[in-house]
Amino acid sequence: MRNDQPLIFERSKPGRIAYSLPALDVPSVDVSELIPDDYLRTEEPELPEVSELDLMRHYTALSKRNHGVDSGFYPLGSCTMKYNPKINENVARLAGFAYIHPLQPEKTVQGALELMYDLQEHLKEITGMDAVTLQPAAGAHGEWTGLMMIRAYHEANGDFNRTKVIVPDSAHGTNPASATVAGFETVTVRSTADGLVDLDDLKRVVGPDTAALMLTNPNTLGLFEEHIVEMAEIVHKAGGKLYYDGANFNAILGKARPGDMGFDVVHLNLHKTFTGPHGGGGPGSGPVGVKADLIPFLPKPVIEKGENGYYLDDDRPQSIGRVKPFYGNFGINVRAYTYIRSMGPDGLKAVSEYAVLNANYMMRRLAEYYDLPYDRHCKHEFVLSGRRQKKLGVRTLDIAKRLLDFGFHPPTIYFPLIVEECMMIEPTETESKETLDAFIDAMIQIAKEAEENPEIVQEAPHTTVVKRLDETTAARKPILRYQKPKHSNN
Amino acid sequence: MTIPKRQGKGKSAVLHRYLPMTEEDKQEMLKTIGVASIDDLFADIPEQVRFRGELKVKPAKSEPELWKELAALAEKNANVKQYVSFLGAGVYDHYIPAVVDHVLSRSEFYTAYTPYQPEISQGELQAIFEFQTMVCELTGMDVANSSMYDGGTALAEAVLLSAAHTKRKKVLISTAVHPQYREVVRTYAKGQKLEVKEIPYDGGVTDLKALDAEMGDDVACVVVQYPNFFGQIEPLKAIAPLAHEKKSLFVVASNPLALGVLTPPGAFGADIVVGDMQPFGIPTQFGGPHCGYFAVKAPLMRKIPGRLVGQTTDEDGRRGFVLTLQAREQHIRRDKATSNICSNQALNALAASVALSALGKRGVKEMAAMNIQKAHYAKVELEKRGLSSPFAGPFFNEFVIRLGRPVSDVNDRLLEKGIIGGYDLGADYPELAGHMLVAVTELRTKEEIDRFVNELGDGHA
């Protein structure tokens, strides 16, 4: 096995350090006099021993083996990989935001509470909802929080039989998973050949046991559910609530609001539409907005504005309780607030306009070379099918890997599950036409290669630091941590 | 030359530094699509739900204007760098090596997402693999995941895992566990219809007799914190057998810094260890984002929530890393997944890894020991001034002190002297009204501790 990139543990050498702590200035007492023997660690944790330069070289080398939005185009569908503004990072690092403790007296954190309150007010307006909580840490956490509120709402009405949550077959995996964690059973509603929720099927599955319908609009095919008003009627008539998964909110920002569409609960992914960076997988932030009848069930505490300033209200008898220690991922919320304030009303509206323009432009230019399962205007993202290429022996996975050779992050692949050999492409509004054209050209070239020289696609990537990795063995014989060799000199 | 309109009302040609499309680009693209205007692309939104108005949000500000405004807002907060803080209660003011923020600021890390394409994500994947290793080393466990939202939700997920694994519905949790963690556990438990039974504390640690009395074949797990909310070191050695005797899982929430000196929970037989990596390289930032960790013994490997990174090889036999055992996860298993978690706290896991690499084997131990020594010094000095502690057991970097006065009054006085006092225990523990939970980290100097002791001891504060 070739180990081109050593682990930090493999760079370790006893006697090196990369920290600087002050000398102990209180009388030194041996820790063994303060902690009973049984509780004094005898075997030291195997942590690295490196110098500061070793450390920086290690992580710099790792960063070079990673692709971010700043490295190049990242059209990962449903993830909204837009540019992450740098002022956001600077603001979040201000000492008055980064170094405040969540349990400080309220009068010492009025600036933080004011920012949170104002962010909530902005998100209420943007979504058309009556109240917002910033507590959920990410989208899936918001989904579960919203469903717990819906459960509490039904139960407060003496309705304990609403055990089912309806999700479309095109839904994100988190929707059914969140429903399960919240204690519901998931019922799937089919999509029509047009890629929209089948209203007849919805009428069939909805009933007195329906707690809620979870919907992404536009859906994961990038298509706006144009029968939304009718769907809301069907669900509400049956006594259910309508849940909006905000993963695709970038498509409708300033153009339509979930609150106006009849949704009762909404979550937003501030790390998507509102530029909190994705951080290599997180942290995110998943605020939840609700209509007035669900306000009593919001997680506590709730930020209120009183005569003597902002305060945290814990006295919420019908609250579902706390969903997270403290008040949410504040640092991400600071970034999102900074972004909203950088954009203003016109800027926010332009976001969805360009996001949709870019997606439609790419879709039209690529439609000639790849199968377009849903031939209509898309919103912020669209899906292509690689079934034409599959007949040539080139799978969507191969196309994705070949894109790596062109310096692009591939689209989301094999999702939604209802499209064969699916590629889900979301360009976002922050990309230039030149970038879109370069990606389109690469996709066209790959389509030609699939016909003329399929091996080059099947064997891709050719330029990355590693070739395709053996995922089967990784799962069959998991190696999930480094083990120090037995007879090491270190 | 014409100067383009800035933020022109009703015009979509907005000139903004984050929006690169020119009017010319736009026209060309519309032509390719075959529509006359961008508005045509929104024609599928029914008119009755189209938002035709203007969002009532604050107008856009330029970068310097916004910076000025937000810096002023930040200034309204008293930060723990400008004040001297003795506040902990789960979130701590620790030394953050300067390298941490330099690594985090590499945009290849922070502008990436979950490493779905391993060939161009080896950096992130390897960093997580190293993180998983460090968590295992600190906790004495076999397998750690790539992170959870925070310590509280990680604990809630540990409870859910325990219930699913044992197929039991009763959870025993010590009242010496962080009150907010317990609240989060209760919220999660509601969804799964679990019964959460709280076990009282005695002398600052979990009451073993009360625990023993509640133990039975219906108990999914026993949950304690180590060190606990009061800073006390729970007798894990005595608790583990009580849990295991009834085939219940033993779940420990643990401050990972303390494990630089304390025997790891894994060595006492813990089945699941969770906690928050905030003490390593993550600023307090008003309570989030921090970084939950989740570690299990090998038999629970395939039930762990969240992302896992595994080592493998590429076609040429070169070492590489991939997301693995994904059959547990929501994007594959949907409603049968072990958890709904998708986004996690990867960037903060990186922060913790960098801080742990900087501190290393020696630094973690040194820093943990300094916390113990400084906290003990502070307690001894307060006791010399006649203040007493209700608990006599061994502790890490936090202890409880009886003031006999409302803690909020004392804290108000301390604030005037530039000190952020400790946590008021009365709100969560009525029997501890007038008691303060004091945290002393390695960053508190002897001079600062003495000042704090003087303020409390003289009764001025």
Range(s) of chain A covered by CATH 3.90.1150.10? 350-474
User: What does the alpha-carbon distance between residue A170 and residue B88 come to, in Å, rounded to a whole number?
Assistant: 45
Best of A30, A41, A440 to disrupt the B interface (most B CBs within 10 Å) is A41
Residue the block writes with tokens 């599955």: A205
Burial group, residue B31, by CB count within 10 angstroms (0-12, 13-18, 19+): exposed
Q: What are phi and psi of A176, to 5 degrees?
A: -65, -35
User: What pLDDT score was predicted for residue A201?
Assistant: 97
User: What pLDDT score was predicted for residue B11?
Assistant: 46
The answer for B 67-106 residues in CB contact with A (under 8 A) is 67, 69-71, 73-82, 85, 87, 89-91, 93, 95, 97, 99, 101-103, 105-106
User: What does the alpha-carbon distance between residue B429 and residue B436 come to, in Å, rounded to a whole number?
Assistant: 11
A437, closest residue in chain B (CA to CA):
B29
User: What does the alpha-carbon distance between residue B429 and residue A321 come to, in Å, rounded to a whole number?
Assistant: 18
Longest CA–CA span in chain A (Å) reads 78
CATH fold of the domain at A87-342: Aspartate Aminotransferase; domain 2 (3.40.640)
User: What pLDDT score was predicted for residue B3?
Assistant: 45
From the list A47, A62, A271, which residue is nearest B364 (CB)?
A47
CA distance B214 to chain A (A): 25
The answer for residues whose C-beta is within 8 angstroms of residue A52's C-beta and 6 or more apart is A18, B99, B358
Coil, strand or helix: which one is A163? coil
Above 90 in pLDDT, residue B217? yes
The one-letter code for the residue type at B88 is: G
Q: What is the pLDDT of residues A206-227, one digit of tens each?
A: 999 999 999 999 999 999 999 9
Inter-CA distances, A413 with A78, A155, A401, A450, Å: 11, 40, 11, 17
pLDDT band at A1 (very low <50, low <70, confident <90, very high): low
Instruction: Work out the angle between the directed axes of helices A52-64 and B122-139 (0-180°, nearest 10).
Output: 130
User: What does the alpha-carbon distance between residue A96 and residue A111 come to, in Å, rounded to a whole number?
Assistant: 8
A96 vs B: CB within 8 A: yes
pLDDT band at B1 (very low <50, low <70, confident <90, very high): very low
pTM, entire model: 0.97
Q: What are phi and psi of A384, to 5 degrees?
A: -120, 155
B197 or B336, which is more confident:
B197
B197 sits in which H/E element:
strand B195-199
Mean pLDDT confidence for B331-360: 93
Structural contact between residues B353 and B99, judged by C-beta atoms closer than 8 angstroms = no
Mean pLDDT confidence for A226-253: 98
Above 80 in pLDDT, residue A7? yes
User: What does the alpha-carbon distance between residue B276 and residue A328 come to, in Å, rounded to a whole number?
Assistant: 14
User: What pLDDT score was predicted for residue B4?
Assistant: 46
Sheet containing B398-402: give its strands across.
B398-402, B435-439, B423-424
Q: What is the pLDDT of residues A391-448, one digit of tens each?
A: 999 999 999 999 999 999 999 999 998 999 999 999 999 999 999 999 999 999 999 9
| ipTM for this model | 0.97
User: What does the alpha-carbon distance between residue B449 and residue B84 come to, in Å, rounded to a whole number?
Assistant: 9
The one-letter code for the residue type at A410 is: P
Question: Pairing state of beta strands A131-133 and A288-290?
Answer: antiparallel
The two three-digit tokens of residue A221, written as one number: 């095919």
User: What does the alpha-carbon distance between residue A345 and residue A347 come to, in Å, rounded to a whole number?
Assistant: 6
The two three-digit tokens of residue A194, written as one number: 């047009």
The DSSP string of B14-37 is --BTTB---HHHHHHHHHHHT-S-
From the list A139, A356, A433, which residue is nearest B343 (CB)?
A139
Inter-CA distances, B260 with A43, B356, B363, Å: 10, 11, 9
pLDDT band at B7 (very low <50, low <70, confident <90, very high): very low
Q: Taking CB atoms and an 8 Å cutoff, what residues of chain A touch B90? A: 325
Coil, strand or helix: which one is B323? strand
User: What pLDDT score was predicted for residue A488?
Assistant: 52
User: What pLDDT score was predicted for residue B399?
Assistant: 98
User: What pLDDT score was predicted for residue B12?
Assistant: 45
The answer for residues whose C-beta is within 8 angstroms of residue B352's C-beta and 6 or more apart is B131, B134, B277, B280, B281, B282, B291
Q: What is the pLDDT of residues B136-161, one digit of tens each?
A: 999 999 999 999 999 999 999 999 99
Residue the block writes with tokens 């800073």: B231
pLDDT band at A132 (very low <50, low <70, confident <90, very high): very high
Range(s) of chain A covered by CATH 3.40.640.10? 87-342
Residue B27: count of CB within 10 angstroms of its CB? 10
The one-letter code for the residue type at A252 is: I
Structural domains in chain B, CATH included, are 1-53 (no CATH), 84-93+360-457 (3.90.1150.10), 98-354 (3.40.640.10)
User: What pLDDT score was predicted for residue A179?
Assistant: 96
Q: What is the pLDDT of residues B228-259, one digit of tens each?
A: 999 999 999 999 999 999 999 999 999 999 99
User: What pLDDT score was predicted for residue B327?
Assistant: 86
Mean pLDDT confidence for B338-346: 91
Q: Taking CB atoms and an 8 Å cutoff, what residues of chain A touch B43? A: 377
Give me the sign of the Cα torsion angle B424, B426, B428, B432.
Answer: positive
**Of the options 3.40.390.10, 2.60.120.620, 3.90.1150.10, 3.40.605.10, the CATH number for the domain spanning A350-474:** 3.90.1150.10
What's the angle, vertex CA B331, arms to CA B326 and CA B335, rounded to 5?
Answer: 105
User: What does the alpha-carbon distance between residue A356 and residue B105 come to, in Å, rounded to a whole number?
Assistant: 30
Structural contact between residues B280 and B355, judged by C-beta atoms closer than 8 angstroms = yes
The answer for B 209-228 residues in CB contact with A (under 8 A) is none
User: What pLDDT score was predicted for residue B332?
Assistant: 82
User: What's the mean per-residue pLDDT of chain B?
Assistant: 95
User: What does the alpha-carbon distance between residue A173 and residue A164 come to, in Å, rounded to a whole number?
Assistant: 16
Mean pLDDT confidence for A291-311: 97
User: What pLDDT score was predicted for residue B94?
Assistant: 98
Interchain CB distance below 8 Å, B372 and A353: no
B447, closest residue in chain A (CA to CA):
A25
Structural contact between residues A273 and A249, judged by C-beta atoms closer than 8 angstroms = yes
Above 60 in pLDDT, residue B116? yes
User: What pLDDT score was predicted for residue A328?
Assistant: 97
Structural contact between residues A425 and A362, judged by C-beta atoms closer than 8 angstroms = yes
User: What pLDDT score was predicted for residue B296?
Assistant: 98
